[in-house]
Chain A
């Protein structure tokens, strides 16, 4: 394979990882930490370095919900899908975020400024229902809080009628 600047950088990032030692996930995490995602151009490079088939590497990336092949949105709203959140109205929060932001769970806006991510429970259930805005928790959201939050994050989408309710969620 002919090296480019990009592939050289990728090789450098994973240089210390060795074939046959179970390092594939570590390699993919490292790339995602560096680039924000796993660049598709990295797949054959990783495969060659760890002596695995490219299908195996691609198959691994596509299997896990936290690995991504496209750049992450500027702002990621991670919505907790756990049961405590479910009991406290997270489904309403999801419906509101999708309606106001105009994207479905797992999608991003066309300009990639905002994305909705389905997150798994990590046991911050005292804050249910909770979302994380680029990793920062925002908990105990009422439906009205969710509307205000979504409008704040996406001022152009679905503006409220003039002069009405622009407060931030508590």
Chain B
């Protein structure tokens, strides 16, 4: 039998493992490697680094880490020197690699122009604003995007190699599981309940109570499901954890197994996250190999294993009964509840479903204890939550803040506010089913109750910022289209209701609104509540919020056939405002040959124009957008 302490010592002393990160004996370069950094070119950066270092025969370690959430500065590369000087370089595309190697690795060890921030020694929290930093490079804590963050769930993101279990264990990982194994199952669920932890996917259901349901179920085997089908567009909170700190999720699952008596876990990862699939599979193999998964875990009577199921592209599989159907080799269509999963889940067996972040939080509760966990947050919502910030905002990325943190500070301070010259119009939190908030509510504290009061859900952590160049009717149509397109089709209420809803919205974008539409949308909203699952029930939320918060703009569309943002294609027209030489470029760029030269100059053939804006990009002073019905 191997004890946790023995495993930890082994992880700390593993050759080439954690030591090389914590106290490097030679320079170490880590490329932050995740889905978004790869899209930004991190793969090319890594390849260029390897070949450059090899060519110059430098004595340097090259490794990877998960992303740390600064998406706006990707690709990110960290250079650590013996003596714990760590510098983070931003926007480090492959073309800058030779300069970095020349100056930061072969030279005196610093490339100030490309440096984004200095990082604290591993294991220490970053110094705050005002601190000197290292060699004139400001500390990461002084970056506005980092300043408000408290990193608990993401403590390892951008620090450890997510594909190396030794890194996680060396940082104290799996100590929560070791502790859980000394506790009775009901003690664990009580501790989870006392922590205030509730479903972080947006369900907001008390996790401890859910675990109690499964513990109380008498039929065996029992299953745990990890919902890693983060389908809400604009949310990549769970992806950050799976890619940067995958063992935290596995640890939460094993703790859940101890608390509930479950013997097997299914981690259901959406098709769009292939790197998560790969890293979780590796993590499970390593957890098994070390004895954190498998028979008689750490010498206890707990036996638990898990495997990863790869989805195939379906939004409703994020609904727990749809997800279960998908695991059961069926079309991923949600089922009518009850029975709830605790009674009849995967293959009819008692099952508990939580999402990625919830399991990772459970590992924090057990690993650090209640006092630590509840020392942050609000009265009802303790500790932290991860949010992804995107849309019309200066700095796009992922951050972890205490629950209850004011949303306006997150958007305007951390995110840097809106693009130059724009004002805030709305915020779309938590995916297409959660609703849309007007700018006046931007000061809400980030906790579920505050959002619910306004008829909106906070959801899983996506925050899409919307500026005044967007049209609310266009957006409402967009979200309406999404829920209609992703309706599974099982219940007529949902698939018919969402179709009728999006038909009305589409008519508004064409100037074909009717007085009766307002009542009909409310009627659809009430009818959709009778859908089988939350997909249909929540489908009209955005449209109903639009009527509540943006009535003037909707009425303009319906009664004046006018789109103030000049976005709705049916309500606008492109025309030549001034004969200028750059109209030749407009003619050349037009994808449909709609910009035509006649005897007395250029004009736009309205029968050919698709209103794609390409001409106006190349000839902004010669082409204007006007109301089609003026």
Name A residues whose Cβ lies closer than 8 Å to a Cβ of B. 20, 22-26, 28-29, 50, 52, 56, 59-60, 63-67, 81-84, 86-87, 89, 92, 95-96, 99-100, 119-128, 130, 137, 139, 142-144, 146-148, 150, 158, 160-161, 164-165
Binds A, one of B213-221, B324-332, B511-519: B324-332
Question: CA separation between A22 and B618, bound complex, in Å?
Answer: 54
B578 to chain A, nearest CB (A): 19
Q: How many residues of B contact A (CB 8 A)?
A: 69
A152 to chain B, nearest CB (A): 13
Question: CA separation between A83 and B467, bound complex, in Å?
Answer: 13
Greatest chain B CB density within 10 A among A24, A28, A147, A148 is at A147
Task: Report whether A64 and B332 are in contact in the complex, using a CB–CB cutoff of 8 Å.
Answer: yes
Binds A, one of B17-25, B142-150, B440-448, B609-617: B609-617
Contacts A65-B314, A122-B35 given; indicate if A160 touches B588 (C-beta within 8 A).
yes
Interface check B222, CB cutoff 8 A: no
Task: Report whether A60 and B234 are in contact in the complex, using a CB–CB cutoff of 8 Å.
Answer: no
Question: CA separation between A160 and B326, bound complex, in Å?
Answer: 47
A64 contacts across to B, CB distance below 8 A: 271, 311-314, 332
Binds A, one of B96-104, B186-194, B384-392, B544-552: B384-392
Question: CA separation between A128 and B396, bound complex, in Å?
Answer: 10
Task: Report whether B614 and A125 are in contact in the complex, using a CB–CB cutoff of 8 Å.
Answer: no
A96 contacts across to B, CB distance below 8 A: 591, 610, 612, 614
Select B618's contact among A86, A144, A160, beta carbons within 8 Å: A144
A122 contacts across to B, CB distance below 8 A: 35-36, 236, 239, 272-273
Select B40's contact among A89, A127, A150, A160, beta carbons within 8 Å: A127
Task: Report whether A92 and B329 are in contact in the complex, using a CB–CB cutoff of 8 Å.
Answer: no
A143 contacts across to B, CB distance below 8 A: 612-614, 617
Task: Report whether B234 and A126 are in contact in the complex, using a CB–CB cutoff of 8 Å.
Answer: no
Q: Which parts of B336-369 form the interface with A (CB within 8 Å)? A: 346-347
Task: Report whether A84 and B390 are in contact in the complex, using a CB–CB cutoff of 8 Å.
Answer: yes
Select B39's contact among A20, A84, A127, beta carbons within 8 Å: A127
B71 contacts across to A, CB distance below 8 A: 123-126
Greatest chain A CB density within 10 A among B71, B428, B588 is at B588
B568 to chain A, nearest CB (A): 11
Which 8 A/B pairs are nearest by Cβ-Cβ distance? A123-B236, A164-B588, A66-B313, A64-B312, A121-B233, A125-B390, A137-B39, A24-B329
Greatest chain B CB density within 10 A among A22, A50, A83, A164 is at A83
Interface check B464, CB cutoff 8 A: yes
